[in-house]
Structure 1
C-alpha cells in the first residue's frame, strides 16, 4: 500500500521496489488487523469491572489525605500551621493526580516491554512458534502503519493484548489512565511500522526504539536482533541482542579468527 505525498517521500525509508518483497496482500492484512481489534474489544469487555463512582471518590479523597498527612510534618518545618495544611493538601493533590499516574504509566511501559521482549525473542528462538505463528508478521518485509497489528490471532492475543492487559492490572491504573496508555501504545507501535523516519517526530526524538530500529528487525540481516518493543531498547542492550552489538561482536570474532590463522 503506497500513498505518494511529494513532501513526505524524502522521509520514506524504503523504495517502491522494496515494497514488492511483502508476502501478504493488503486485503489479508486488513482482515487480520480487524480480527485482532475484535479480540481486543472482547478482552476489554471481559476485564471491565464497572465503575462505582461513590467508592472511587472515597478512595480518591483517602489517597489525598494519606499523601497530605505524609508531607505535612515536612511542610510545617517551613510554614505556619494554617499555611502548612493548605500547602500539604495541594501537594497531596499533585501526588494523587499527577505523580502516581506518571509512575503507573512508566511501570506499565516497563511491564509491556518486558512481556513483549520475552515472548518476541521466544517466537524467534522456538522454530515451531516462528513457523506457525510469528512468521505471519514477518511476511511484511516492508511494514506499513496498520500492518503493525498484522499477526497470527493467537500471537496477537498473547503478545499484544495480554501484555497490555497485564500492565493495566498490575499497575492498578484507573480506566481513564488505561485508555490513555492503550492509545499511546497503539500510536507508538503504528509509528514504529509506518515506513517513514520524520526527524521532528516526538516519538522519534524521545525513543531510541523507533521506525529505523524496528525496521532492522524486519530485514533478513537483522531478524535475529532488535527484539525490544515498543518503547525502550534496554532489554536488547542488556541481553546483547541489539543489532549493532551483534554486528560488532561478529566482526571482533572474525578478526580474532583471522589473527589466529596468521599466527599459526
Structure 2
C-alpha cells in the first residue's frame, strides 16, 4: 500500500512521462485534424532546435531523479490513522466554536466545520500554492534573462528549444531545474501546510500545466486553454527571438506579466504581423 507521501513523489513524474509520450506520438503521427492546431511544423522543430531529443530525455530524467530525492527528504511520512485523528479533532474543535458562537444546531455546526476543513481550507491552500509557484517562477525566470551570467550558464539551456514540445517542458540546466521548479513547488507545499494528498494533486496539476504550456499545440477545447490565458501559444512567444523578453509568467497565470509590463499583448502581436506583411 503506497502512502500519500510516496504517491506525491512518483505519480506526478509518471504522469509527466505518460502525457509527454502522448504528445510526442501525436506529433510523429501528423494526423491532419490535430496538425491544424499545431504551432510549429516538424521541419521547424528539427531545423531550429539546438539540442537532440535524446539529450532532452536525459536531462529531464536527471531532473526527476533530483526532484524525487529532494521530495523524499522533504515529505515526512505520517501514519494515516494519526493524520485522520488530527483532522477529526480539528473538525470537532471548529464545530464547538461555531456552536458556542450562535450556530446552535449541532448537525449543521458539524457539517459546516467539515466543509471548512475538507473543502474551504484545502481550496485556499491550493490557490495560494499556485500563486506562490507563479511568483517564485516569474521572478527567477525573469532574473534568468536579465542577468547575462545566469542566462549564459543556466537559462540558455532551456532556450535551445526554439520550437517547444512536451518533453522539453523540464529541459533545463539541473541547477536551474532544481531552483526554478523543484524548490518552488516544495516551498509552496511546505508554506501552505497542505496535506500530502493535496500535494500530490498540486504537483500533478503543475506538471500537466507545464506540459500544456510547452506541448506545441493550441487546442481551443482544451480545458487548460479555456481556463488559463497562459497556454502553449502564450509561452511559445517567449521561446521566439522576437518575444524572448516577454511572457515570463509560468505555469498558471499571466498577472505578473500584465502588472509589470512584460506581457507580449495583442498590440505587440498585431505590430509583428503588420511588419511581416510589409
The question of a shared fold, defined as TM-score above 0.5 by the shorter chain, is answered with yes
Match of 2:110 among 89, 92, 117: 89
Q: Are residue 17 (structure 1) and residue 38 (structure 2) matched? A: no
Q: CA deviation at 1:54?
A: 4.2
Structure number with greater CO (CA < 8 Å, separation at least 6) is 2
Q: What is the CA–CA distance in structure 1 between the aligned matches of 2:267 and 2:51, rounded to whole Å?
A: 29
Q: What is the CA–CA distance in structure 1 between the aligned matches of 2:144 and 2:266, rounded to whole Å?
A: 21
- 2:66 corresponds in structure 1 to 39
- 1:103 corresponds in structure 2 to 124
Match of 1:67 among 94, 104, 107: 94
Q: CA deviation at 1:211?
A: 0.7
Q: What is the CA–CA distance in structure 2 between the aligned matches of 1:9 and 1:54, rounded to whole Å?
A: 50
Q: Are residue 147 (structure 1) and residue 174 (structure 2) matched? A: no
Q: Gapped runs of 5+ residues in structure 1?
A: 252-264
Q: Are residue 229 (structure 1) and residue 256 (structure 2) matched? A: no
Q: CA deviation at 1:158?
A: 0.4
Q: CA RMSD in A?
A: 1.9
Post-superposition Cα deviations, 1:202-243, rounded to whole Å, max 9, x if no partner, equal 000000111111010000111001001000011111111111
Distance change >3 Å, CA 245–CA 12, structure 1 → 2: closer
Match of 1:118 among 122, 133, 139: 139
- 2:20 corresponds in structure 1 to none
Q: CA deviation at 1:59?
A: 1.9
Distance change >3 Å, CA 71–CA 245, structure 1 → 2: farther
Q: What is the CA–CA distance in structure 2 between the aligned matches of 1:135 and 1:25, rounded to whole Å?
A: 15
Q: What is the CA–CA distance in structure 1 between the aligned matches of 2:266 and 2:99, rounded to whole Å?
A: 49
Post-superposition Cα deviations, 1:108-150, rounded to whole Å, max 9, x if no partner, equal 0000000000100000000010011000000000011111000
Structure 2 matches for 1:71-220, cutoff 5 A?
A: 71-72=98-99, 76=103, 81=104, 84-220=105-241
Q: Gapped runs of 5+ residues in structure 2?
A: 1-23, 273-278
Q: CA deviation at 1:48?
A: 1.8
Q: CA deviation at 1:58?
A: 2.9
Q: What is the CA–CA distance in structure 2 between the aligned matches of 1:32 and 1:96, rounded to whole Å?
A: 40
- 1:27 corresponds in structure 2 to 54
Q: CA deviation at 1:88?
A: 0.9
Structure 2 matches for 1:236-251, cutoff 5 A?
A: 236-244=257-265, 247=268
Task: Classify the secondary structure of the residue corresponding to 2:163.
Answer: coil
Q: CA deviation at 1:21?
A: 0.3
Number of aligned residue pairs: 244
* TM-score normalised by length of structure 1: 0.88
Q: CA deviation at 1:245?
A: 7.9
Post-superposition Cα deviations, 1:150-191, rounded to whole Å, max 9, x if no partner, equal 000000000000000000000001111001100000000001
Is the contact between residue 24 and residue 139 of structure 1 (CA under 8 Å) also seen in structure 2? Answer: yes
* TM-score normalised by length of structure 2: 0.83
